[in-house]
């Protein structure tokens, strides 16, 4: 069932993003009175075709769903009747051609802004930006942030949820500069200076926020177990919900992190626990199962803590605004994420970021499935992020992409005439090779991330 959800969520996401992107091209082409021959969702053999409009434009759904295109009347691609020459794409003024080409990426950015606006109006549930354990020697600790501090602003940007804090911390870390964080301690706001100069761009990936020393608070310090997976090492050792951890390897239990760290550091090795089991003290030995994650083996026992609903409720918040403020926040979030994407692309090109940051369709499909299973709000958030990425990536000055066509048109404006067919053909070959190389790296990273770990 999980793979079905993943495939369905991925196809819906790709379908929505491609339709919006191509509709941007189509709409502006029609506004410029350019004749559109085909609006295609996907590539390859058409599975379904219908004609619509006064121009009998073909709407096609094709075999390969990873993309789409809008085919316009063009003398370079076939014969054009004399009475329709004025509607051919290649006969349009260069400014019109630029507007038609740029409309696709702009449509993706508009979609992201619209999604964020709707989410902000509805309300995005989140966790208050309250700090839990601050690891010694982390950047947060060096800035003298402490458990219980409530983050208010980062670099002047207002922070209301853990998610927004993560976004702005990632952006600041990617820049490798010093940023001022305002946080409330016992109700009094203070400024803290975070120095990201030692953070390499290759570190801008999952787990970054935790490595910076920003961990959410632990509402589970009681050590009472609340969930035991059937057949897990915890279940086989005799642990049951309601058991209370007293000691781990001879050390007194002080917080849930004690058990997590002990289990993770004992893959396949016996772990001694002292447990209050039905008001009786019992001595248990449990052997964590060895699982591979992040390229290393860690222990797993299949036990979860008893969650205190009151503490969880106190940490929850909802970020929502009226229509005008939601629209402003929607556009601001889109622009912020777009700029962050551009910065990361620039660092990849300059060699200042690892190619392992590249993701392909397998990772996108995996995230689509995960977010869909979490609910409509996480899925829409995922859709907005991918729409931004698609819009920005299409603006890259690589032939075969929209940005490559824009590059030709800019050259045409500078030299006063179109770029020669030979130069464009050479550019197409170079662009094709670049895209194939990028796809190979992306697929390699996908396979390494999902199947190897």
The residues that are catalytic are: 22
d(CA 16, CA 65): 11
Inter-helix orientation angle 376-394/361-374, to 10°:
150
d(CA 21, CA 39): 11
Q: Which of 164, 163, 172 is nearest to 140 (CA)?
A: 172
Locate all alpha helices (DSSP H) within 49-194, ordered by sequence.
Answer: 94-122, 139-142, 162-175
Tokens of 425: 């053909």
**Residues ≥6 apart with Cβ < 8 Å to 400:** 428, 431, 432, 435
d(CA 156, CA 375): 31
d(CA 297, CA 392): 37
Q: Which of 111, 125, 161 is nearest to 386 (CA)?
A: 111
Q: Are 245 and 226 in contact (CB under 8 A)?
A: no
Give me the phi and psi of 129, to 5 degrees please. -75, 60
Q: Which of 164, 110, 205, 140 is nearest to 317 (CA)?
A: 164
Q: Which of 126, 107, 115, 164 is nearest to 381 (CA)?
A: 115
Q: Are 402 and 435 in contact (CB under 8 A)?
A: no
The conformation of residue 76, written as its DSSP 8-state character, comes to T
């Amino acid at each position: 069932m999980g793979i079905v959800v993943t495939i369905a969520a991925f196809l819906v996401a790709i379908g929505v993003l491609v339709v919006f992107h191509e509709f941007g091209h189509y709409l502006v082409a029609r506004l410029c009175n350019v004749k559109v021959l085909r609006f295609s969702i996907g590539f390859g053999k058409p599975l379904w075709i219908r004609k619509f409009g006064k121009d009998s434009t073909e709407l096609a759904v094709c075999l390969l769903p990873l993309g789409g295109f809008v085919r316009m009347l063009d003398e370079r691609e076939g014969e054009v009747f004399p009475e329709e020459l004025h509607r051919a794409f290649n006969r349009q003024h260069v400014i019109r051609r630029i507007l038609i080409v740029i409309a696709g990426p702009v449509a993706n950015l508009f979609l992201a802004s619209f999604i964020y606006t709707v989410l902000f109006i509805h309300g995005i549930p989140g966790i208050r930006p309250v700090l839990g354990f601050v690891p010694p020697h982390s950047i947060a600790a060096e800035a003298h942030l402490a458990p219980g501090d409530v983050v208010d602003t980062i670099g002047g940007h207002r922070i209301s949820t853990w998610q927004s804090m993560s976004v702005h911390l990632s952006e600041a870390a990617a820049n490798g500069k010093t940023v001022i964080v305002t946080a409330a301690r016992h109700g009094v706001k203070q400024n803290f200076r975070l120095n990201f100069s030692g953070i390499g761009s290759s570190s801008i990936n999952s787990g970054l926020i935790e490595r910076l020393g920003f961990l959410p608070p632990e509402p589970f310090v009681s050590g009472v177990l609340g969930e035991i997976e059937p057949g897990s090492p915890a279940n086989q050792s005799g642990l049951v919900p309601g058991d209370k951890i007293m000691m781990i390897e001879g050390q007194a239990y002080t917080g849930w992190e004690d058990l997590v760290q002990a289990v993770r550091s004992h893959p396949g090795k016996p772990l001694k626990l002292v447990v209050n089991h039905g008001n009786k003290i019992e001595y248990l030995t449990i052997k964590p199962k060895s699982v591979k994650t992040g390229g290393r083996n860690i222990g797993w026992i299949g036990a979860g803590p008893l969650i205190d609903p009151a503490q969880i409720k106190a940490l929850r918040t909802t970020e929502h605004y009226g229509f005008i403020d939601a629209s402003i926040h929607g556009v601001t979030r889109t622009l912020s994420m777009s700029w962050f994407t551009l910065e990361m692309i620039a660092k990849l090109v300059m060699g200042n970021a690892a190619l392992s940051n590249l993701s392909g369709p397998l990772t996108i499909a995996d995230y689509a499935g995960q977010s869909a299973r979490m609910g409509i709000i996480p899925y829409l958030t995922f859709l907005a992020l991918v729409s931004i990425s698609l819009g920005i990536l299409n603006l890259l000055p690589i032939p075969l992409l929209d940005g490559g066509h824009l590059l030709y048109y800019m050259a045409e404006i500078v030299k006063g005439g179109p770029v020669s067919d030979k130069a464009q053909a050479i550019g197409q070959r170079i662009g094709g090779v670049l895209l194939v190389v990028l796809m190979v790296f992306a697929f390699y990273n996908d396979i390494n991330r999902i199947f190897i770990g």
